[in-house]
Amino acid sequence: MNSPDPFIVRVRALLGEGGCLESAETMARYLRDWRGLFEGKARLVARPRSTAEIAALVRLCAEERVGIVPQGGNTGLVGGATPSETGTDIVLSLERMNRIRSVDPDDFSITVEAGCILADVQNAAAKVDRLFPLSLGAEGTCQIGGNLSTNAGGINVVRYGNARDLVLGLEIVLPDGSMWDDLRRVRKDNTGYPLRQLFIGAEGTLGIITAAALKLFPVSRQRATALVTVGNAQAACDLFSHFETRLGDCIVSFEYMSKPSVQLAYDLVPGTIWPFGDITADSVLVELGWTLEQPSLKDLLEATLADSMEKGFILDAVIADNEAKRLALWRIREAVVEAQRIGGASIKHDISVPIASIASFMTIADAAVRQILPETRILPFGHLGDGNLHYNLMRPPGIDDRAFLQNAEALTRAVHDIVREFGGSFSAEHGLGQLRRDEANLYKSPIERELMERIKSSFDPHRLMNPGKML
């Protein structure tokens, strides 16, 4: 019989029953990402229930120089929450830190623990007639701490901003185990460096977000949703400028879907209903929302679409008459994602460029991709109103997954080189994690890398926070 690992004994004593998982079976789901692209090992999985427990655990790890991989809902796309192969680090799951600490409708704020499921935060706000606007595919599983640590985006950014923009205050356990109580609810504060900002999007490499005070918004009393077809991506960009100029205050989502991305969804995902007959054009899903009960937002959308058609920005349009039809339109957008998951090997690029350059970017990127592998299925879609495109490439018929993926490095390099020429970002909302970490050396300036290193070194000198991620 092995003598017990004294570190594990101390963690067990600290976290009690259910707080420390050690068997291969119980740890398995924490050691790989949901897509199955990353798998690692860990000494144990810790599941603390309070900030005090986290602080004590981090102090213990600092003493023993044990690395910590914080993990939320484990829905990330870049392996940021998966431990390395070494097995020397621990996974710190925030899942039992899931209390809504307070909701204040008159203050338009909510204070939640890091392990709250995003949908639960949305629901807690809705209960007091308020909106927490962060919304993304994984919202039923992902946790707010992970959303903040990755500065999540999603489908409402054009109106409400990224996760960063929704934060009023944070509670953070620093790499030495001290707790920084920055859980404030003020909207203006100019009394020093905005340290809080550093932790948002840091992927847990500077400390662990244990709770957050977040902004709430008034609920939209009306929504109006339309699917429109456009001549090409440039027309979609022009339409955005036209819509923003006329309706800027009430555009909540402005999503672009290329023709082939919709075609694939239609082919592969049952229940995808395309309301225009044949799929012959790119499309935009636009949703408006506002707090007013009157006048009718649908009438307004209708008038703007009529005008857009007259001006030649759009080919055709349908407006959702009721909630069922609205959901059917959104199901197309969701099916586009789903189809790319089930349709075969794909290479995802989560890029952003200046909004007005999206169409030019695609033209140049398409040509570069075709030069490497002419048959590649190019299936872009994304948040056009944020300049954020999921420029995804898929295995063409007649090539197997492995043969296709042999081109991955060349294709990604070509796409990201073009992104750089446009002054864009090679990871707009998914982060670096393990998948994109080394690309930062290619695409970030040496000055920026150096400043990042200085911050990392001064905050986490022993490099114990999420080792091997981001830096």
Residue 438 binds a second copy (CB under 8 A): no
Q: What is d(CA 208, CA 150) in angstroms, rounded to the nearest whole number? A: 12
Cis status of the peptide bond prior to 133, with omega within 30 of 0: no
DSSP string, 246-282: HHGGGEEEEEEE-HHHHHHHHHHSTT---TTSS--SE
Taking CB under 8 A as the criterion, the residue among 7, 10, 452, 463 binding a second copy is: 452
Nearer to a second copy by C-beta: 22 or 176?
Answer: 176
Nearer to a second copy by C-beta: 42 or 432?
Answer: 432
From the CB of 181, what's the least distance to a second copy, in Å? 7
Residue 261 binds a second copy (CB under 8 A): no
Q: Determine contact, residues 38/393, Cβ cutoff 8 Å.
A: no
Length of the chain: 471
Task: Provide the phi-psi class of 308: left if phi over 0, else alpha when psi is between -120 and 50, else beta.
Answer: alpha
Total residues at interface with a second copy (CB under 8 A): 93
Both tokens of 378, joined, read: 């190019």
What mask of x and - would describe binding to a second copy in positions 294 to 323, judged by CB under 8 A? -x----x-----------------------
Nearer to a second copy by C-beta: 393 or 432?
Answer: 432
Site for a second copy in 352-411 (CB under 8 A): 352-357, 383, 386-388
Residue 291 binds a second copy (CB under 8 A): yes
Taking CB under 8 A as the criterion, the residue among 47, 390, 436, 469 binding a second copy is: 436
The DSSP 8-state label assigned to residue 465 in this structure reads B
Stretch that binds a second copy, among 8-16, 258-266, 313-321, 455-463 (CB under 8 A): 455-463
| The dihedral sign for the CA sequence 251, 252, 254, 257 | negative
Amino acid in position 418: I
Site for a second copy in 411-430 (CB under 8 A): 423-430
Q: What is d(CA 296, CA 361) in angstroms, rounded to the nearest whole number? A: 37
Taking CB under 8 A as the criterion, the residue among 31, 118, 202, 305 binding a second copy is: 202
How many C-beta atoms surround the C-beta of residue 243 within 10 A?
Answer: 24
Residue 447 binds a second copy (CB under 8 A): yes
Cα Rg for the chain, rounded, in angstroms? 23
Both tokens of 368, joined, read: 């570069």
In a 3-state reduction of DSSP, which class is residue 100?
Answer: strand
Q: Determine contact, residues 246/203, Cβ cutoff 8 Å.
A: no
Alpha helices in 5-98 (DSSP H): 6-15, 24-27, 51-64
From the CB of 32, what's the least distance to a second copy, in Å? 22
Site for a second copy in 90-149 (CB under 8 A): 104-109, 129
Site for a second copy in 26-65 (CB under 8 A): none
Site for a second copy in 149-178 (CB under 8 A): 150-151, 153, 157, 161-162, 164-165, 174, 178
Biggest CA-to-CA distance, the chain: 80
Residue 470 binds a second copy (CB under 8 A): yes
Nearer to a second copy by C-beta: 43 or 390?
Answer: 390
From the CB of 87, what's the least distance to a second copy, in Å? 28
Nearer to a second copy by C-beta: 242 or 326?
Answer: 242
From the CB of 367, what's the least distance to a second copy, in Å? 22
